[in-house]
Amino acid sequence: MAFRALPQELIRAKRDGQALSSEEIGELVGGISDGSLSDAQVGALAMAIYLNGMNAAETVALTEAVRDSGEVLTWRGLGPGLDLPGPVLDKHSTGGVGDLVSLVLGPWIAACGGYVPMVSGRGLGHTGGTLDKLEAIPGYDIAPTRERLRKLVREAGVAIVGQTAELAPADRRLYAIRDVTATVESLPLIVSSILGKKLACGLDALVMDVKSGSGAFMPTHEASFELASTIAEVASRAGTPTTALLTDMSQPLAPCAGNAVEVREAIALLTCEKTGDKRGGRLLEVTRTLAAELLLAGRLASDHEGALALLDERLASGAAAERFARMVAGLGGPADLLERHDRHLPRAAVVRPVYAERSGRVTRMDTRALGLAVVTLGGGRRAPSDAIDPSVGLSDIAAIGEAIDGERPLAWVHAGSEADAERASGQLRAAIEVNDVALGDVVLPTLIQDVIRREAP
């Protein structure tokens, strides 16, 4: 593209701590998209932003430029029978262990009258990826054509898919270069990467689930809060009302981790297979809270109590499960997944309990280490080209405060071999701390730590 100023001069300005205008940022992002900026220039720009940051106006401009670097989906003004009659809603999580919220929330919102075109990603480091979970379902197509995506969102109300080449192409190139230039951990670059893809989906409202704790992407509570606040502020200033929740990741969100085991957990929650104390627990609470915020933002409920009542009715009636089934079948998966998931979802060759070396209560755990144990089993990637074994993982993971003894294991390990199971068992025992204390002496983590709401101007 034609630059009004030499790109190296814009990079120099950012290197020297100067603020760039929205027009200058737009030119740079355009050069990232069309290749007129070299890899060296993109890397230098990323490092300049990493070292000097961006002010609020610059971050908004960067996000909007990434969003507009490719196709921005529209859902209205398409003609009779093509427009969506309800709000377009979505959520995003910064990732964690046992975080299968998307699998439940998307169909649940669709059952309440919303439309959810959810663009998701793969696992990163110790965290699981929504696309990896869905690919445990035989035949599920994470990369449908645009026409198929539109049709499914219109008919089922939800489609969880991967990023297409047309959506936010600048982000794809910029992230790849950040990954090899030690510039991933930059707040403006993180925010523009997350929101550029999400806002390109033409949303009416967004909820963000930002994790804090030993399994979180951000290292401290303060960093997580800053990320949540910045995302809510930038997205709203870019025209999309956004609510950000700060939630706990000092232990897995669901009592399991791994791809097929998490799909089974999602189906159990959607079909209400679990009752009483076992009905969803932390996973249900976070998903229900995020879903209620979306219903309020999309004006599908008039108050918080009404939102929760609608959600509970649509879950109990089976409407949310039915939307999940329609999405799976619409993207090539088995039509009878809900009824016969044991037939369709892969199972590990070795499934066995892992017991602690002493009785007591779980007082703390290294959630990141639990996620890495799943990676070691083959349930995640050490390199982008690695194949994943969808059958492996952990299930029935004990919670902080839970009593552990010779009958209650720390977890069950699902492995491809006895040797893998033995290795993972050692990792679990090292990651989960058990002490001889009373329940009252255990510090139980607060699950939902903060809620930040921002309206569009």
Mean pLDDT confidence for 368-379: 93
- Respond yes or no: is residue 193 known to be catalytic: yes
Name the band, by pLDDT with cuts 50, 70 and 90, for residue 46: very high
State the chain's mean pLDDT as an integer. 92
Q: Which residue has the tokens 């035989």?
A: 138
The end-to-end CA distance of the chain, in Å, is 31
Name the band, by pLDDT with cuts 50, 70 and 90, for residue 192: very high
SS3 334: coil
**How many helices and strands in the chain, by DSSP H and E?**
17, 13
Q: How much is the pLDDT for 384?
A: 65
Residues 439, 450: Cα–Cα separation, whole Å: 25
Q: How much is the pLDDT for 274?
A: 62
Q: How far is CA 2 from CA 42, 71, 369, in A?
A: 16, 21, 48
Closest CA to 246 of 225, 223, 226: 225
Residues 108, 118: Cα–Cα separation, whole Å: 13
- Respond yes or no: is residue 178 known to be catalytic: yes
Q: How much is the pLDDT for 275?
A: 54
Q: How far is CA 397 from CA 353, 409, 428, in A?
A: 10, 8, 10
Residues 32 and 170 sit within 8 Å (Cβ to Cβ): yes
Mean pLDDT confidence for 237-261: 95
Active-site entry in 67, 133, 172, 178: 178
Residues 365, 97: Cα–Cα separation, whole Å: 12
Ranking 27-31, 92-96, 335-339 by mean pLDDT, the lowest is 92-96
- Respond yes or no: is residue 209 known to be catalytic: no
Two tokens at 403?
């009593």
pTM (two decimals) = 0.92
Residues 180, 91: Cα–Cα separation, whole Å: 28
- Respond yes or no: is residue 151 known to be catalytic: no
Mean pLDDT confidence for 63-71: 95
Residues 241 and 251 sit within 8 Å (Cβ to Cβ): no
Residues 351 and 414 sit within 8 Å (Cβ to Cβ): yes
Q: How much is the pLDDT for 433?
A: 97
Name the band, by pLDDT with cuts 50, 70 and 90, for residue 121: confident
Residue 15 in this model has a pLDDT that exceeds 60 = yes
Q: How much is the pLDDT for 66?
A: 96
* Percent of residues, the chain, with pLDDT higher than 70: 95
Name the band, by pLDDT with cuts 50, 70 and 90, for residue 284: very high
- Respond yes or no: is residue 274 known to be catalytic: no
H-helix or E-strand spanning residue 362: strand 360-365
- Respond yes or no: is residue 172 known to be catalytic: no
Q: How much is the pLDDT for 76?
A: 84
Q: How much is the pLDDT for 387?
A: 84
Residue 383 in this model has a pLDDT that exceeds 70 = no
Structure letter (DSSP) for residue 445: P
Residue 94 in this model has a pLDDT that exceeds 80 = yes
Mean pLDDT confidence for 170-198: 91
- Respond yes or no: is residue 91 known to be catalytic: yes
Residue 280 in this model has a pLDDT that exceeds 90 = no
Residues 29, 25: Cα–Cα separation, whole Å: 6
What radius of gyration, in Å, describes the C-alpha atoms of the chain? 22
Q: How much is the pLDDT for 217?
A: 77
H-helix or E-strand spanning residue 307: helix 304-316
Residues 204, 95: Cα–Cα separation, whole Å: 23
Active-site entry in 120, 164, 186, 193: 193
- Respond yes or no: is residue 92 known to be catalytic: yes
- Phi/psi of residue 127, nearest 5 degrees: -90, 145
Closest CA to 168 of 131, 195, 135: 195
SS3 446: coil
Active-site entry in 150, 172, 197, 282: 197
Mean pLDDT confidence for 348-357: 97
Ranking 163-167, 263-267, 284-288 by mean pLDDT, the lowest is 163-167
Active-site entry in 59, 93, 186, 224: 93
Pairing assessment for the beta strands 116-120 and 89-93 based on DSSP bridges: unpaired
Q: List pLDDT tens digits, range 397-434.
A: 999 999 999 999 999 999 999 999 999 999 999 999 99
- Respond yes or no: is residue 120 known to be catalytic: no
Q: How much is the pLDDT for 362?
A: 97
Spell out the domains of the chain, with CATH numbers in brackets.
Answer: 7-53 (1.20.970.10), 89-164+178-341+448-454 (3.40.1030.10), 345-441 (3.90.1170.30)
